[in-house]
Every structure is written in C-alpha cells, then in structure tokens.
Amino acid sequence: MKTLPLGTSGLEVSRLSLGCMRLGGCPSQRESTEAVAAAVESGITFFDHADIYNGGGSETRFAQAMEDLKLDRADLVLQSKCGIRRGWFDFSKEHILSSVDGILQRLNTEYLDVLLLHRPDTLMEPEEVAAAFDQLESQGKVRHFGVSNQNPAQMTFLRSTVRQPLVANQVQFGLGHTPLIDHSLNVNMNDNPAVDRDGGLLDYCRLHRITLQPWSPLQKGFFGGVILGDPDYLEVTKVLTRIAAEQNVSASAVAIAWILRHPAGMQPVLGSMTPSRIREMCDADGVRITREEWYELYRAAGNRVP
C-alpha cells in the first residue's frame, strides 16, 4: 500500500487506516484478530482508536490481536483519542493525562504515536491542554498530537498555546457527506451548498499541513447508513458499480478511491470489521479516478456543480 506523510510529524503512514471503533463489538476475540489481520495483510499499518470505543474494550481487543498475530509494535502507527465522556466533553489536563494512561495500559504499549482531542470541548482551557501535551511528550507517552472535528478558528486558538504542531484532524467526509467541499464549489451563491459550515477547514488544513482523516467514508449523514444501495443514493451506486466493473474492484473501493483522488492527501478511516470488506476497500489504493469521474460521482451523489 502507498504511504503518505502524516502532517508535519515526519511519519510516513499507510494512506488507509483501520478505525477500531467496532473492534470491541466483534462476537469474539477471534473475529477481532481476523479483522486486524486482514488490515495488516492489505498493507494497513495505521490503527485509529479512542478511549470511549466499547468503553475501552476495542483497545484491549487490539492489544490481544497484536499478541495473537505476533505484530511488532515498531511496525505499527497507533493513534487514539480522548475527551468524550458520557454526555459531555473534557479537555482538562487531569482528564487528558488519566485517559492516556488508561489507553496505554489497554493497548499494552509504552507510547502512542498520535493522540487526538476527540471533538471540541467548548469549556476548553488551552493552557491546560498545552500543559498536558508537554507532560505527555516529555514522559515519552505521546509522540505527536492532533484534533478531531475541529474548525480552523478552534485549531488556531489551540495552536496559540500548544507548542506541538497539530498533525491531523479527523472529520466526516465521503460521497454521503460532502460539506467539506460543497461551499468551495459554490462561492458567492445564494443557496444552501454555498453555506460555509466549517470556516474553510479544507484549505486551512492544506495550508498548515494538517492531514485530514475522513471518518465514516461510506456513511450518509451522521451514521445514517451506508450509501451503497441506499434508496437515496441509487444513482451514485450505479456509477460506482460501473467504474468498479471497469477496474475489477468493488464499489466500496471506488468510493474510497474518490476520497483518495483529492489532492489534499487525506487518510480515510475504514470502519468495517469484516475481513472481506476490509480487503475490498483496501483495493482503493490501486484505483485510478479521473477528474471527469470524480465530478460525475459528486453529481450522482445528489450534489450540484454550478
């Protein structure tokens, strides 16, 4: 699998990552291990976690999978997130530090390659975040830092205090959720697609070399279901299926390749725990989407090109 630079971290990472949100929900450890094995066999070396996923159970399952598969920690890039509590958010220094200690214990590792703040906390005190990041870095517990679902103003505010560069921002993006690019195609127009909902997030991240990590790349809306075969997305399913047949891959691989085609160098986060689906989506690494096909898919998903 091809690699890409993760922000300004100096890390070269697999251009696809496996999101482990559902790993702890697999029926058994065997199924969890098989999902991780499918990802590794397909060339994925980057694994995304969060302390809230299955109450920490996904991280525990992953650690056991590493042991079962005899994976070398040095060959993997492990990312986790903290800050979401049950019904509220917490970016306090105390919570960040305790969360990381729990993550490291569950993952059975001495360090995280990347720690993301998981969704914005409107009560954030950036000085506390900065102090937490400094302590984690000095102790060798976290090597790089980033955010999730934050807009440019929030990142700028955080960067005014935090010393470390933000190397990644995990946001929702895919053919079923396109606000990240809609307004940039409808500049100075008086209709809904022209509404700037994120403060120019895409351009900001490209300018500051912050890697965007699209989550739920095959979902419509906020966990509204997979777009493939959905009654609201029959036209885009048709186009995806046609291109897939031409390139001898699955329609899901083409949908992922549509994201990879964007020159921003995004790193999609795959969410399936089914080995065959993971392998199918990883075929996206070899799919070539032309400029004409990219816009055809965008229009087929129900979007307008002015």
Catalytic residue among 53, 111, 233, 295: 53
Q: What is the dihedral of CA 184, 46, 230, 189, to 10 degrees?
A: -10
* Rounded CA separation 300/305 (Å): 11
* Rounded CA separation 278/226 (Å): 15
Q: 């998903």: which residue's tokens? A: 301
* Rounded CA separation 39/20 (Å): 11
Beta strands in 77-185 (DSSP E): 77-82, 84-85, 88-89, 112-118, 142-148, 166-172
Tell me which DSSP letter residue 165 carries. P
Q: Is 53 a catalytic residue?
A: yes
Tokens of 195: 């509404």
> CA 14, 18, 24: angle at the middle one, nearest 5?
155
- Measured from the Cβ of residue 126, the count of other Cβ atoms closer than 10 Å reads 15
* Rounded CA separation 227/210 (Å): 28
Report the catalytic residues.
53
